[in-house]
Amino acid sequence: MSTLKRVLFFYFLLTIFSLEAQSEEFIPLRVIFHINSNISEGQYSLSEIAKIAKEEGIGGVIFTDKALLKWEYGLWPLRNVIKKKLEDSSVFKYGLHNYLQDIRRLRKEFPNLVLIEGLEVAPFYYWEGSPLRGNLRMYNWHKHLLVLGLKEKDYKYLPIIGNFRGLVKNFSFYKLWPVLLMGAGFILIRKKRYKYKDFQGRVWGKSSPAFKFSGFLCMGLGVLFFINNWPFVNLRYTQYDGDLEIKPYQEFINYVRDKGGLVFWAEPEAETRGKFRGIHFESKSCVEEFLHTQGYSGFCVFYDGYKEIGRPGGAWDRVLLEYCRDIRDNPAWAIGGLSFERGDLSRAIRDLQTVVLAKRKDKASVLEALKKGRFYVIRGINSLDFLLEDFSLVSDLAQKARLGEVLRGKRQVAINIKASSLKEKIKKVNLKIIKNGKIIKEIQVEVPFFVSFYDYNLRRPKSYYRLEIKAKGLHLITNPIFVERVEL
């Protein structure tokens, strides 16, 4: 087949699949994600959040209240007896069942909103220093993950510091050693300095004050350590284990994934340090954890997730390339995280949304789309007025794919992009097509538009394409589309 015929045939396929893409029945549902109510640290109630979201034209809300806000430090060797504990309002303190029930009731009150329950968790933190020396410091509390899509019983057993039942590893006979100490104390108390038997066969003796003192001391210490070691189990990890690097995060991700849930890195580039209730704290960014953990669903690209991770050629592209090289089992998706607690909620909603391409307007369809990467993130003052109607690929093997999907191609693909502005506030936008972490096409187009680009360079066994659109008051980032090259 000549080059001209091949191009014409390819254009014919492109036209067919473009019409097909327009006829597919996906609902573009605008969703807000990562928002806290007054059940944890938020300003608004669950009902107020839903009401404001509805007024702003939002189709869905994913609540992610703090699972647990509890910090504990105990003095060695009686850490569970001599300790100080601080606790603030959280879902576990409010009652997990109550929280889930509240959201179920809200679904009846707002039938046109897709309301999904989720939690924000800090799987791990650790202490360094000592309060006795005045240098006690807490690390990694602000390395947070967002989890959703689990059953109530699975949320109960999340492996996070402070949730004892989720951290139990196994029973430990070793921790029963205080029983031996109490037994030794009992023997010492009953021990006599000397004893004799009289002519009637009665046994007489005199107790030793030293033996009695030692016995009562052993008994007292045994009781203290018995209480300290209760309920005699080993934990996966504790806040006294020091820096465990990625271990607690990987175990948390594995747990959520095994239970069929979704887990996203929240604010992965944020760094925090300061003082809270007299305790110094510090947390570095989660970029290293993002790069070295496996199996998570994705990350929040805004607001603290673009400079190092989400930008072209950043950590996200490294992770996607690892997936293409079969180093990872699953790709990572970019989602929009409001990180909202207090302030003007309407303004926050207008600045950032995640647009989910759902089969139906219900919880199951939204969770399915989030799992498969069928969504994009859009932010800026003009974000509510802009709609990406199509971003798809067509291969020379008569296959088509959209966000999060995989298609097969031999030598070339066509890239379709279609968008419009509802109130015509956006006149021109800048398009960037990113392939395998590199910008392969960058142009400026007028809105509305439908454009197609061709890539005749399918060399790697597996590649991916993603899209960025920028304009004044607008920044849009899509999830990738993958292409597998086949030899025919």
pLDDT tens-digit readout, 422-465: 887 889 999 999 999 999 999 999 999 999 999 998 889 999 99
Domains of the chain: 1-25+382-488 (2.60.40.10), 27-167+238-373 (3.20.20.140), 173-231 (no CATH)
317-347 pLDDT tens trace: 999 999 999 999 999 999 999 999 999 999 9
Q: Is 17 helix (H, G, I), strand (E, B) or coil?
A: helix
Beta carbons of 361 and 61 less than 8 angstroms apart: no
pLDDT of residue 210: 79
Beta bridge partners of 266: 144
How many CB atoms lie under 10 A from the CB of residue 303? 16
Residue type, position 177, single letter: W
pLDDT of residue 47: 97
| Of 62, 56, 70, residue with least CA distance to 37 | 62
Rg (CA), the chain: 30
Chain centroid to CA 137: how far? 25
Residues 387-407 as b/e (b if ≥16 CB within 10 A, e otherwise) read: bbeebbbbbbeebbbbbbbeb
As given in the structure block, the two tokens for residue 457 are 């360079």
pLDDT of residue 487: 78
Q: Which residues of the chain have pLDDT under 70?
A: 1-24, 192-207, 488
Locate all alpha helices (DSSP H) within 58-195, ordered by sequence. Answer: 91-94, 96-109, 152-156, 164-167, 177-190
Distance CA 474, CA 250 (A): 35
pLDDT tens digits, one per residue of 60-100: 999 999 999 999 999 999 999 999 998 999 999 999 999 99
- Tokens 């090289």, located at residue: 325
The 3-class secondary structure across 353-373, one letter per residue, is EEEEEECCCCHHHHHHHHHHC
Return the pLDDT at 22.
Answer: 42
What are the angstrom distances between the C-alpha of 321 and each of 313, 329, 464, 480?
10, 12, 8, 11
pLDDT at 192: 63
